[in-house]
Structure 1
């Protein structure tokens, strides 16, 4: 019975005051007024159960779609691969295995990591979007984290975000752009640097005082451009007319054997820019001898070329290059003279981003000096430039010996970005031009050496093509007496020629310390060396 004395326990969402009132109504329930009040109260109790349950997070918003994972995989820089994977709970070995399975394609590897992480999330109704956004922010990908939270299911956006766009705002991101006057001042500093260093040629490789002007000694080199499996002659004057699918190539690999003239080729580019000839339409031309630098970021290298009173900062230089890639030409000289794999990013001890840095091959340079984190200034590492992860639209030329070019050629995607040129040294005509420049006031001696190089099969076939050997022959021809010249003309084998060259160089070097020829001290010095 509804009005019996049976005790009923009711769990109610109502306040204690309302429940006390209910008890009072219980005592008066035998009256009509009490019955009405009790009836109304029961209706309220029944209605109180009709409360909407907490729906929790909306699955459509908390989940991340496959398209969003694909967009993230495309937008995150390869240098973040290990950081992203480890943040999501994968071991380094697992990440390496995934990358190998995906043939070193970082976009596909990122996508695989995201998909595996998505499956591992438990329970199924967890807010995956928030979790992933938090993980991205922890590794300085704040821009992508914000996009994930603010633009659910968005598939738009740029095709490849720069690292500066994926990091949270900082002091460096607010860099004041270089003024036109300061841009020009930097260009003048670069030109002064090249005039005083890169564009200086030694007539005597062992004598620093034998410097001659670039235009008085430079001789054109034989250049060949690869066309499929064939090579075609390329005139230096036509190098800026190179076209790949209608436009100038953004990555050029210039390869040649040791002493073939690769560094001289870079010096020629610098000289033409200085003199307002070829390459003059570029605002900046940056010539980078790789073996000379410990901090391999383009902004720091360019900054080191500037006068001490030039106020341009590393971040301003980097920002200018990023904002004006079509106005800057970069030439990296001597990729074979630095260590470090291009295609596989390795973590330096002083870095946490996993971005590999090139290191000079010289033993005096340790890895901690060479690593130099680029994240501190927003600067750009050279490997990112070589792989076109950064400055993809900036024209970049790289010189190397053939064995080092194999690493670029072995990657199908990267090889497509490069145009390959070969430096073959001198041909017969250029050889004659060089020798006459070496002996500007002694045409007879120049002609005798030219004749010797043509008559001696060993020299004509194996040495006359290489400027470094020709320079040594010219030096010997200039310094030795008539008797030794006759002996040189009789040489027929490699071993004979090199033995004579080595003996001459030892004597030539020793005479720098002991001036008197034939003196006991000179003879002792020769024996010691």
Structure 2
């Protein structure tokens, strides 16, 4: 991301940062400047847009907790997430050669924390799979929509929560907002949305989830979309932006020389105290089971280490409750038993909504199922070991296995947009394993 003289682009961004810092010394989000009656487009007022976003976040904002039970959702009140700020010894932005500074207020401190004396315009939040990045973004949007008193964003006129996975490499920011949040509206175009953002960027916050799933690139020499330009801090500089990513995504920001713009934070897993607290809540009516599980895990370091991942802490509690954990002596057998539980749970549902039944699936058929979906993941692993999102085309030779895997909960399948915009030929289908470790386990079975 260099100009011909090698420094001009960075100098322009430093000038923008200096200008923004002059207005960002209080540690609070700037007060809104535009009226709720202001028109975003001739057909869409700011107030109407806000109401549509609030409806979207309150209606669809909750995250499925259990892959085998799509009716079970995360309780945001049970979200116990710890966040660390990476701080360099000289200048706090982006470093990993200095120290970590825990944020005492955790999620709410992400947008309150000043870096080098000012609120950062861009934040890169890193986290391993299952540590709660997507849930965190959903909670931020939900808290804004419900005007939660502790939310640092409660007074922001507009908050746009978007997913990189639901974009193409050339999708513009306006297209992403319309397709993912607003839907097709007569007289409302992506270009008009972006024009409003350009003129009122200080009154908007954008949350971008899952950078590692983005099909585009920050280093492309081709014409860049406005979504890429937003990420590169080349457009909408007054708009505060949070980008979440798995740790490997940080490399792209380093290569694009962006770590002097982005404050880098990391979402931590459960501490020992938090995982114990979760187990106590899970077995609230049976405290003896909670104590027995904690004692059991003391002698099982290979699986005990997984309780720092919120999802696996829940899964381990579920297996213990179902008497399927005591035979587990490795991570591999943990995944085997978790899949066994998923099959048992799906059998109890039978044939639901036209989905295939697993009532009579044999152990051999289950093994073939894992090998089929694991084979798809393995073929992808040969060229891109970090890939976690697949398409229907990837599974075209094993559609039956895919349908059963979805029914069990081994993988999920969803459309990229609930209301596709006109620039999409058809809504793309997104397929992914319930966790990257499960994906790797299926690959291991396939190649064994």
* Cα deviation, residue 210, structure 1: 2.4
* Cα deviation, residue 428, structure 1: 1.9
Q: Which residue is 1:225 aligned to? A: 85
Select the structure with the greater relative contact order (CA < 8 A; seq sep ≥ 6).
2
* Cα deviation, residue 320, structure 1: 2.3
Q: Which residue is 1:342 aligned to? A: 218
8 Å contact 2:126–2:266 — kept in the other structure? yes
Q: Which residue is 2:268 aligned to? A: 424
* Cα deviation, residue 473, structure 1: 1.6
8 Å contact 1:254–1:397 — kept in the other structure? yes
2:202 paired with 1:326? yes
Q: Which residue is 2:326 aligned to? A: 486
The aligned length equals: 324
Question: For the residues of structure 1 that align with 2:205 and 2:347, how far apart are their CA atoms?
Answer: 42
Deviations 1:243-296 (A, max 9, x none): 133321001000111212111121121122122131102111111111123462
* Cα deviation, residue 446, structure 1: 4.0
Secondary structure of the structure 2 residue equivalent to 1:203: strand
Question: For the residues of structure 1 that align with 2:308 and 2:161, how far apart are their CA atoms?
Answer: 25
The partner residue of 1:316 within 192, 197, 202 is: 192
Deviations 1:208-265 (A, max 9, x none): 12235x335x322121101112111113232232113332100100011121211112
8 Å contact 1:336–1:400 — kept in the other structure? yes
Question: For the residues of structure 2 that align with 1:194 and 1:250, how far apart are their CA atoms?
Answer: 23
Question: For the residues of structure 2 that align with 1:314 and 1:332, how far apart are their CA atoms?
Answer: 17
Q: Which residue is 2:34 aligned to? A: none
Question: For the residues of structure 2 that align with 1:194 and 1:472, how far apart are their CA atoms?
Answer: 27
Question: For the residues of structure 2 that align with 1:283 and 1:452, how far apart are their CA atoms?
Answer: 50
Q: Which residue is 1:204 aligned to? A: 66
Secondary structure of the structure 1 residue equivalent to 2:191: helix
Secondary structure of the structure 1 residue equivalent to 2:326: helix
Question: For the residues of structure 2 that align with 1:485 and 1:245, how far apart are their CA atoms?
Answer: 48
Q: Hey, which of these two has a bigger chunk of helix by percent?
A: 1
8 Å contact 1:252–1:396 — kept in the other structure? yes
Deviations 1:398-443 (A, max 9, x none): 011111211212344x221010001112112222343344455544
Question: For the residues of structure 1 that align with 2:4 and 2:202, how far apart are their CA atoms?
Answer: 36
2:56 paired with 1:193? yes
The partner residue of 1:242 within 104, 113, 117 is: 113
* Cα deviation, residue 504, structure 1: 3.5
Secondary structure of the structure 2 residue equivalent to 1:406: helix
8 Å contact 2:68–2:346 — kept in the other structure? yes
2:309 paired with 1:457? no
Secondary structure of the structure 2 residue equivalent to 1:208: strand
TM-score, length-scaled by structure 2: 0.63
TM-score, length-scaled by structure 1: 0.54
Return closer, same or farther for 1:476/1:343 CA change in 2, 3 Å cut-off.
Answer: same
Structure showing greater radius of gyration is 1
8 Å contact 1:281–1:327 — kept in the other structure? no
Deviates more, 1:423-432 or 1:494-503: 494-503
RMSD: 3.4
* Cα deviation, residue 182, structure 1: 1.9
The partner residue of 1:215 within 62, 76, 94 is: 76
